[in-house]
Amino acid sequence: MNRMKSIGMAAVAIGVVVVALTSGSAKVGKHSETMDASQFVTLTDAVPDAILEIRYFSTYNFVGARIDGYQEPTALLTKQAADSLRAVSDDVKAMGYRLKIYDAYRPQRAVDHFVRWAANVPDTLMRRYFYPDLLKDVLFDQEYIAAKSGHTRGSTVDLTLFDMTTEKEVDMGGTFDWFGPESHPDFCGNPATGKFTGDNHNSPAGRKITPQQFANRMILRNAMLRHGFKPIGTEWWHFTLKQEPFPNTYFNFPVRQLKK
């Protein structure tokens, strides 16, 4: 998830946000919202080697249910982001890897679903898998859940590497959508230098990753940076195209195969 700085509010205020986001208005704050999918492509059309594990179509995600707007287990991106991701795929394939995609374009209705779920504090079905060190009522304040997501602009992707020799995911030392410092790119290392440091940034349970796990994260990160994507400081799997074509547009069409 994109943890953009947006909200940290009490339950009453959260209710106001939900109403505002689901009212059907064409505007959300200063940003436009649209159902136009004409500038998007199905990711696997652009990157045929990509493996899809669309977590929000399944029930294995931090909510524990299929997320609104995910009508098919596919991935969509803007044409520009998909072209750049193809270059990443070609790059890592030469090293013996394929890209595995957890999420790409995410409709606003899915983000609204996250907001409603976060407001329902007693629902902790998946806590032990994704946020065992946190109480659910801090997820807004600590910016794990927000009312807007860069994914909704269509040029952000959540992904990992798949090793073609072992036929397994590469061991990154942590799972996708884990809420905690263990997901930060600088966990136990310095991404700017690629050096392992062992600094676990006060992991609540004293967790650490190994030098190899940190190095694996850097393989993915460096490949993404080489081809025009930028990372964030809180999720090793999350990257946005630097020159994203729709920086102020939040799309709301459903995730499903696009007609050619």
pLDDT digits (tens, 9 = 90+) for 43-70: 999 999 999 999 999 999 999 999 999 9
Q: Give the Cα separation of 235 and 158 in Å (integer).
A: 9
Token pair 């020159």 in the structure block, residue: 243
The predicted pLDDT at position 120 comes to 97
Residue 115 in any domain: the answer is yes
Domain housing 163 = 11-26+33-172+244-251
We report the CATH number of the domain holding residue 99 as 3.30.1380.10
Residue among 144, 105, 57, 86 at smallest CA distance from 245: 105
In a domain, 69, yes or no: yes
Distance CA 229, CA 182 (A): 22
Number of domains in the chain: 1
Q: Does residue 198 lie within any of the structural domains?
A: no
Instruction: Find all residues with CB under 8 Å of 12, minimum gap 6, and list them.
Output: none
**Could you read off the pLDDT of 3-51 as tens digits, one per residue?**
433 433 333 333 333 323 332 333 334 567 899 999 999 999 999 999 9
Mean pLDDT of the chain: 90
What's the start-to-end Cα distance of the chain, in Å?
29
According to the model, what pLDDT value does residue 232 have? 98
Q: How far apart are CA 227 and CA 43, in angstroms?
A: 16
Q: Is beta strand 76-78 parallel, antiparallel or unpaired with respect to 195-196? A: unpaired
The reply to whether 118 falls in a domain is: yes
Tell me the average pLDDT across 98-110. Answer: 98
DSSP label at residue 66: P
Q: How confident is the model at residue 260 (pLDDT cuts 50, 70, 90)?
A: confident
User: In terms of Cα–Cα distance, which of 253, 201, 246, 191 is closest to 222?
Assistant: 191
Q: 77-87, pLDDT tens digit by residue?
A: 999 999 999 99
Flag whether 194 is in a domain: no
For range 127-145, the mean pLDDT: 96
Residue 36 confidence (pLDDT) = 95
Residue at 150 is within a domain: yes
Rounded to whole angstroms, the Cα distance separating 216 from 213 reads 5
Give the catalytic positions in this structure. Answer: 235
Q: What is the DSSP letter of 103?
A: E
- Residue carrying structure tokens 């009508």: 71
Give the model's pLDDT for residue 1: 53
Assigned domain for 233 exists = no
Q: Where are the alpha helices (DSSP H) in the chain?
A: 11-21, 43-46, 79-93, 108-119, 127-130, 211-226
Strand-strand pairing, 76-78 and 40-42:
antiparallel
pLDDT for 228 equals: 98
Instruction: Give the pLDDT score at 23.
Output: 29
Q: What is the pLDDT of residue 202?
A: 86
Give the global pTM: 0.88
Among residues 11, 25, 118, which one has the least CA distance to residue 67?
118
Q: Give residue-wise pLDDT tens across range 105-119.
A: 999 999 999 999 999
**236 located within any domain:** no
pLDDT of 251 strictly over 80: yes
Lowest mean pLDDT among 113-117, 185-189, 199-203: 199-203
